[in-house]
Amino acid sequence: MTIKPSHIAAAKLKVATAAKTGESVPDWIRELATRSLTDTIPSQESLSIPAFRTDADAGNTNAMVNLGLLYMEQGEPNQAKEWYRKAADAGNTNAMDHLGLLHMEQAEADQAEQWYRKAADAGNTSAMDHLALLLRQQGEHDQAEQWYRRAADAGNTSAMVNLGFLHVEQGEHDQAEQWYRRAADAGNTNAMDRLGLLHVEQGEPDQAEQWYRKAADAGNTNAMVNLGLLLRKRGQADLAEQWWRRAADAKRSEA
């Protein structure tokens, strides 16, 4: 069997994921992973932009969006805007949504709203959720609720959480719980955290703990903090500190 560069790259991926998940890796894969790829392939940093660029130049709008995201991550918003704009002009609604986010970051709410609306009208549920948040910030609660509902009905779990929160603000805890539950069942950890809060407010600490724990185990740092608070209230200060420490570690690695 001839060993190809992709075999070595696959072994490196296997060993790297195993280091995080705790999965055991056979020795022959570990040995393969020690072999060098540097002579055959450039590093990820040096290949990402040219690789996306090739696809973007060929008219692939998803590559244009990815290129924009990459430029954003590298702190080059003007370059990002250029590629988002090209993709948006070609009809890519994700690009429109990202353009909206970029304008929001640059405190250009009117332009952000235009792009969110264009994407939302074309059925992009993330843009509906972002548009609703913008409208809520502008005090347009009825319009915000309508957009949250449209996005939530179409399966957007972030909108379900936000719609749930609107119901909490209006004192409609049953309806809030329904939306949080729908989002939590779909795996949204913010929804699990909110369900925990709701149960705390309703004097049901055991159910609250279940939801916090589920969200915390999935990596939600707010839930880790809340679970710590709940445990501390019960006098389990050591356990509480463990969760807060995990939350702090998770935040540090995100930064």
Among positions 4-63, residues that touch another protein (CB under 8 A) are: 4-14, 16-18, 20-21, 23, 26, 28-29, 31-32, 35, 37, 40-41, 43-44, 47-48, 51-52, 62-63
CB of 206 vs another protein, minimal distance in Å: 19
CB closer to another protein, 4 vs 234: 4
Residue type, 25: V
Using CB under 8 A as the binding rule, the residues of this chain from 80 to 99 that contact another protein are: none
User: In Å, what is the CA distance from 164 to each residue of 5, 85, 100, 145, 194?
Assistant: 50, 33, 24, 10, 9
CB of 158 vs another protein, minimal distance in Å: 7
Mask for 135-174, x = binds another protein (CB under 8 A): -x---------------------x--xx--xx--x-----
Tell how far CA 83 is from the center of its chain: 21
CB of 45 vs another protein, minimal distance in Å: 8
Handedness of CA 48, 50, 53, 58 (dihedral sign): negative
CB of 136 vs another protein, minimal distance in Å: 7
CB closer to another protein, 118 vs 212: 212
Angle between the N-to-C axes of helices 61-73 and 93-105, in degrees from 0 to 180, rounded to the nearest 10 = 20
User: In Å, what is the CA distance from 245 to each residue of 41, 54, 238, 250?
Assistant: 39, 44, 11, 9
CB of 47 vs another protein, minimal distance in Å: 6
Among 119, 182, 221, 236, binds another protein (CB under 8 A): 221
User: In Å, what is the CA distance from 128 to each residue of 133, 159, 168, 170, 198?
Assistant: 9, 8, 20, 21, 25
Tokens of 88: 């948006």
Using CB under 8 A as the binding rule, the residues of this chain from 171 to 190 that contact another protein are: 190
CB closer to another protein, 12 vs 85: 12
Among 122, 154, 218, 237, binds another protein (CB under 8 A): 218
Residue type, 101: L
CB closer to another protein, 9 vs 117: 9
Closest CA to 106 of 128, 136, 132, 84: 84
Size of the site for another protein (CB under 8 A): 72
Closest CA to 205 of 243, 231, 181: 231
**From CA 178, how far away is CA 161, in angstroms rounded?**
10
CB closer to another protein, 43 vs 78: 43
CB closer to another protein, 181 vs 190: 190
**From CA 180, how far away is CA 152, in angstroms rounded?**
11
Judged by CB under 8 A, does residue 101 bind another protein? yes
Using CB under 8 A as the binding rule, the residues of this chain from 188 to 217 that contact another protein are: 190, 197
